[in-house]
Amino acid sequence: MGTLAGLLRRAGNSPVDVHVTHISFFDLHEIVRILGDHIYHIRTLALYTSAPKLDHFHIHVVYGLFEKPAPLLEVVDIQLFSRSFFEDCLKIDALQDPSLRLPPPLLRQAPKLRQLSFQTMTFPQTAGDGFLAVTRLEIDGVFLSADQMSAIVSLPCLRNLHLEIAGCALPNAQPPPTFRLDELWLYGMWQTRESIPDMLPSALQYLGFPHIPHFITDNWDVLDLVLSSLSHRSTLLVDYWRDLNDPNAVTGVACRLIDHRGLIFDLVGILFVVAPFDLDLCILANLVEIEIPYDELTGVQSDFDLPKLERLCLRVRAGETARWKPERLLEGRISCPNLHTVELWNYPEHSTVSMASAQLLHFISHLLDLSPRRAVDIVLRGVAVVYSSELGLLDHVVGTVRDDVRPAPPPFGLELQTRWHASVQ
């Protein structure tokens, strides 16, 4: 704590960006005291903890940060507590009274505040002057009232909204005509026997769907709504969803659909009970490009068609090539008669990956059902094919094999997970 206090003292009155990690119950009070003394010249405030999260009875300790004016404060990113709509949190009496979880008055008066990410904070029923500059807002709550929803859509500068809620009520009046989101992240609102019928589509429509360019959710119930707004040409990106406290721990699969008119739809945090190719057949039928981990594609269990697919990009890890056995049987077969390019990419954090030509041959000839009239081109980015001369065995289906010196684009999953919380820039 002495280091933190010393750094802030040496900064004098200069604006500072503060990012404190691994906060525990034992040092929370002291950190709050130190930062509260310097809140007047803090521009960005990011407070994180490791698992397990702090308990919700310490929410108001954090509110002590804002007992003094914060005239320079632009970004608040506090990720210390578990999401309050989780089942175990619903039993906490302190969370049942929204007035106990409203933002501190002085925070609501920070004139330069533009990004507010504060898990467990409930938005006030009237926005007030303090939120007039906010462009990015992340909150969670057990339930948002109609007044709270009305206050959110009345924010004049709001463009990015991240809601993690179990449900909401909607005002009778429509949002003001100036309300327009560029990005909506909606977690929760799963369909249950107790939930209000059609609550999810009604809430989405109220917030501007399907006219929101980027929509992110963990709720499969919205797929039917998305289908009706997609064009007939789409791109599918598949990535692993990871635990940010442990980048090696994969918790699910994330899918991104990019409509060729500009709509981006992300379905994230998916458990492995659902595979990417269990998506609706209407989606698969309109895909023209796919970017996917190699083992996700090669693990398909049944035949399916990708009639419009033109470009297939596979991310390959060294372990996936080292474990490959030529006698391994492929369960499914993918028909893609319009495919003209297959790209093999490494991951940005890895060096060049070696793949035996026999493995590539097996993939092309056994998994993919290609048109006999169209040869595919193989493009390698960070992947080297060993014994590539053997590829001549597939001259009738492979046109060219070439190296592309440009690095493969980074996977979208990590960027999506951190974009709301990489506050110190």
Mean pLDDT by 10 residues, the chain (425 residues): 82 92 89 93 90 74 86 90 56 49 71 86 73 88 83 94 86 94 86 60 90 87 75 87 63 85 82 56 86 83 87 86 57 87 90 85 84 87 80 74 90 78 48
Q: In what order do the strands lie in the sheet with 334-335?
A: 304-305, 334-335, 368-369
As beta bridge partners, residue 141 has: 165
pLDDT digits (tens, 9 = 90+) for 207-231: 998 889 999 988 777 777 777 777 7
Strand (E) positions, 120-225?
A: 136-141, 160-165, 183-188, 214-217
pLDDT digits (tens, 9 = 90+) for 264-286: 999 887 654 445 566 667 788 88
Burial of 316 (0-12, 13-18, 19+ CB in 10 A): buried
Rounded to 5 degrees, what are φ and ψ at 57?
A: -70, -5
Q: Are 219 and 184 in contact (CB under 8 A)?
A: no
What is the residue type of 249? A
- The answer for residues whose C-beta is within 8 angstroms of residue 19's C-beta and 6 or more apart is 44, 46, 48, 423, 424
Token output for 205: 């429509």
Of 345, 340, 334, nearest to 399 by C-alpha is: 340
What is the residue type of 86? F
Q: Are 129 and 149 in contact (CB under 8 A)?
A: no
Of 189, 224, 195, 196, nearest to 210 by C-alpha is: 224
Rounded to 5 degrees, what angle do the CA atoms 419, 423, 424 make?
Answer: 130
Q: Tell how far CA 99 is from the center of its chain.
A: 30
CA 301 – CA 350 distance, rounded (Å): 29
Strands 311-315 and 341-345: what pairing?
parallel
Q: Please report where in the chains the tokens 């991310």 appear, as a residue.
A: 315
What count of other Cβ atoms lies within 10 Å of the Cβ of residue 166? 22
Can you give the pLDDT at residue 92? 43
Rounded to 5 degrees, what angle do the CA atoms 349, 350, 353 make?
Answer: 155
Q: Please report where in the chains the tokens 């920070």 appear, as a residue.
A: 110
Token output for 425: 């820039």
